[in-house]
């Protein structure tokens, strides 16, 4: 039986910086495969259950080669636990990227989002912060991206990954 690898998910409400940090993460964590699930929406649409299953299957294949994966996307534990390949991982760890309401609003307005969608994501971001200690095991750390340079955000994510990655040499 192969050793199970951990899976790392950088989550957060829209506008928090998940996609933006990927380039920096790839520079400082070349030993990891790092993905933005939104990159395939044009091909498979907004079937989020299918999306999660595909990305966990990809991460499982990568783990079979002895490498670990970081997925930068809004995945919730109760949805990930339903995926066919969930049990193939030693553990799934979550980190939340967060920014203040004003920054989120500016970022989402730049994407031409509606007022209703912006408010929904502000509310979701608040929920993530309020439940980080109780809805996640271990408790989900929060990295504030409001005024933090993307390189510093990536370094904070790297520290979190290293804490749980076990015996992987960096």
| Mean predicted lDDT score pLDDT of the chain | 94
pLDDT value at 170 more than 50: no
pLDDT band of residue 46 (cuts 50, 70, 90) is confident
The structure tokens listed for 61 are 């294949």
pLDDT band of residue 168 (cuts 50, 70, 90) is very low
Residues 6+ apart with CB under 8 A from 15: 99, 103, 104, 107, 108, 111, 121
pLDDT at 41: 87
Residues 6+ apart with CB under 8 A from 80: 9, 52, 56, 86, 92
pLDDT at 42: 84
pLDDT at 3: 78
Give the residue carrying structure tokens 């408010």.
119
pLDDT tens, residue by residue, 102-132? 999 999 999 999 999 999 999 999 999 999 9
pLDDT at 60: 96
CA–CA gap between residue 43 and residue 26 (Å, rounded): 24
Alpha helices (H) in 15-114, listed in sequence order: 18-28, 41-44, 48-63, 77-80, 101-109
pLDDT tens, residue by residue, 54-98? 999 999 999 999 999 999 999 999 999 999 999 999 999 999 999
pLDDT at 1: 43
pLDDT value at 45 more than 70: yes
Residue whose C-alpha is closest to residue 74's, from 11, 140, 151, 25: 11
pLDDT at 119: 96
pTM: 0.94
pLDDT band of residue 169 (cuts 50, 70, 90) is very low
The structure tokens listed for 123 are 């509310």
């Amino acid at each position: 039986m192969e050793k199970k690898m951990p899976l790392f998910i950088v989550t957060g409400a829209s506008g928090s910086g998940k996609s933006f940090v990927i380039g920096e993460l790839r520079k400082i964590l070349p030993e990891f495969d790092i993905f933005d699930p939104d990159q395939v929406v044009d091909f498979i649409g907004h079937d989020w259950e299918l999306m999660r299953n595909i990305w966990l299957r990809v991460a499982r294949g990568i783990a079979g080669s002895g490498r670990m994966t970081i997925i930068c996307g809004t995945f919730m534990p109760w949805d990930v636990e339903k995926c066919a390949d969930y049990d193939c991982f030693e553990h799934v760890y979550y980190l939340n990227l967060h920014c203040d309401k004003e920054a989120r609003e500016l970022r989402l307005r730049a994407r031409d989002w509606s007022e209703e969608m912006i408010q929904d994501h502000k509310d979701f971001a608040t929920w993530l912060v309020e439940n980080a200690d109780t809805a996640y095991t271990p408790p989900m750390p929060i990295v504030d991206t409001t005024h933090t340079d993307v390189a510093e955000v990536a370094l904070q994510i790297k520290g979190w990954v290293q804490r749980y990655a076990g015996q992987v040499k960096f």
